[in-house]
């Protein structure tokens, strides 16, 4: 009976994670195909509407500063439900907006609430340790990649058969589902009832060398991968002449790469450990620069696709292992703050480097050189850092 209850509780958590990650990832990209229709309804141009996309990302990034520490203070349940209700109110404003100003306010509130997704990482840290916790983080990373890949295609389908407001209808439904799952799944004051830290070496502060190192490498791997994805529409549709439909198929392949990476990560980490998964992922990222280098000689889309698959798999393996290794180095009492630091680091580093990367990507060869050098730097940083850390205490990994 007890085993059955534990399984039921675990699957409820999986459902909650899936729903919340959907709400966090989809709104940023699913709206892109609908921008011309929304601009037309508001009697503005697409360039005038575009700030609503960047505003969402900025507000989303900085709102994680609130929800991480808030969940440590008042509990995971109250903090997550507060965020979800904010997202629901923002989605309602967007759905029923009659002008651009109301729509922009709605996107602001929606993004601020959706940032509460980081709390699911803290819940995993509270409840589970070891392989179970790490496999859940692989699941979250894989799911995020798949949702990012599918979001534009889903958005295009919704506006084809319905209208742009159908996007927000779907968002509102998933928000209510997430609220219900939160009420049923999360215990009151869950952060207080977290899994005990059996290893006394774990720090009550996120300012420790292990956390900072793995957090930095995870952020860098995300950043160079993000540069790669940002460049894809320009390269496939402008340089290679792909249609929007064919480009969507490429993005589905990109999502499939995350599935492969998730399966490989689970197998490697379960058999050899998280640190081996981390090293393998870093090496794969480095190897992805080899086919990139060939593009200086042969301008072929299939080489680009192969590079994208390699890079995606490596990034997924590094990000999930770096996340686990970062969080495992800290006490569960600061899990919310730790996730805030991780999200903010990725946001700041990713935003700054992607802005520069976006400029050089207009010259395709310069862009590939940038990514290639990034892969090399990431590998060197990983190997040098691990050599240093191996001389320090890594007991928390076991």
**Tens of pLDDT along 184-198?**
888 766 654 444 444
| Residue the block writes with tokens 């002449």 | 241
Three-class SS of 319-333: HHHHHHHHHHCECHH
Q: Which CATH class is domain 2-185?
A: mainly alpha
Which residue in 138, 161, 198 sits closest to 324, CA to CA? 138
How does pLDDT run across 241-292, given as a tens digit for each residue?
A: 777 667 777 777 777 888 888 888 888 988 888 888 888 888 888 787 777 6
**Cβ-proximal residues to 231 (8 Å cutoff; 6+ apart), any chain:** 357, 358, 361, 364, 367
Positive or negative, the CA dihedral 181, 257, 265, 381 is negative
Question: Where in the chain is CATH 1.20.1250.20?
Answer: 2-185, 209-397
What SS3 state is found at 185? helix
**Cβ-proximal residues to 378 (8 Å cutoff; 6+ apart), any chain:** 217, 220, 221, 224, 282, 285, 286, 318
Which is the CATH superfamily of the domain at 209-397? MFS general substrate transporter like domains (1.20.1250.20)
How does pLDDT run across 119-154, given as a tens digit for each residue?
A: 888 888 788 877 888 888 888 888 887 887 777 778
Our CA angle for 36, 41, 46, nearest 5°, is 30
C-alpha pair distances (Å), 168 with each of 30, 144, 173: 10, 19, 9
pTM confidence score: 0.73
Bridge partners (DSSP) listed for residue 203: 330
How does pLDDT run across 165-189, given as a tens digit for each residue?
A: 899 999 999 999 999 998 988 876 6
Instruction: State residue 398's pLDDT score.
Output: 40
């Amino acid at each position: 009976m007890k085993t059955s209850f534990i399984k039921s509780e675990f699957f409820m958590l999986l459902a909650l994670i899936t729903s919340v990650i959907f709400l966090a990832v989809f709104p940023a990209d699913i709206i892109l195909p609908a921008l011309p229709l929304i601009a037309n309804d508001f009697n503005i141009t697409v360039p005038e509407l575009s700030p609503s996309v960047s505003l969402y990302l900025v507000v989303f990034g900085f709102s994680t500063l609130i929800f991480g520490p808030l969940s440590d203070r008042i509990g995971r349940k109250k903090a997550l439900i507060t965020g979800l209700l904010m997202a629901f109110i923002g989605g309602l404003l967007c759905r029923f907006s009659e002008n651009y100003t109301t729509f922009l306010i709605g996107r602001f509130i929606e993004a601020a609430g959706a940032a509460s997704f980081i709390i699911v990482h803290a819940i995993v840290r509270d409840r589970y340790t070891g392989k179970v916790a790490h496999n859940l983080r692989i699941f979250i990373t894989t799911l995020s990649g798949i949702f990012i890949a599918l979001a534009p295609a889903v958005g295009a389908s919704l506006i084809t058969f319905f209208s742009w407001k159908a996007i927000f209808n779907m968002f509102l439904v998933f928000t209510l589902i997430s609220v219900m799952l939160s009420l049923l799944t999360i215990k009151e004051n869950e952060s207080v009832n977290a899994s005990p830290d059996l290893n006394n070496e774990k720090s009550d502060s996120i300012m420790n060398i292990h956390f900072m190192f793995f957090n930095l490498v995870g952020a860098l791997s995300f950043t160079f991968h993000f540069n790669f994805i940002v460049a894809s529409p320009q390269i496939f549709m402008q340089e290679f002449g792909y249609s929007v439909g064919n480009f969507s198929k490429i993005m589905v392949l990109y999502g499939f790469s995350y599935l492969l990476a998730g399966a490989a990560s689970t197998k490697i980490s379960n058999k050899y450990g998280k640190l081996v998964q981390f090293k393998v992922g870093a090496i794969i990222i480095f190897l992805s620069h080899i086919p990139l280098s060939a593009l200086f000689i042969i301008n072929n889309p299939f080489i680009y696709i192969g590079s994208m698959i390699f890079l995606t798999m490596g990034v997924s393996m590094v990000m999930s292992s770096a996340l686990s290794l970062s969080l495992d180095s800290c006490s569960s009492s600061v899990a919310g703050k730790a996730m805030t630091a991780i999200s903010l680091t990725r946001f700041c580093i990713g935003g700054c480097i992607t802005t520069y990367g976006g400029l050089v990507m207009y010259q395709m060869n310069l862009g590939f050189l940038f990514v290639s050098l990034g892969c090399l730097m990431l590998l060197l940083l990983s190997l040098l850092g691990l050599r240093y850390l191996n001389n320090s205490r890594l007991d928390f990994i076991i």
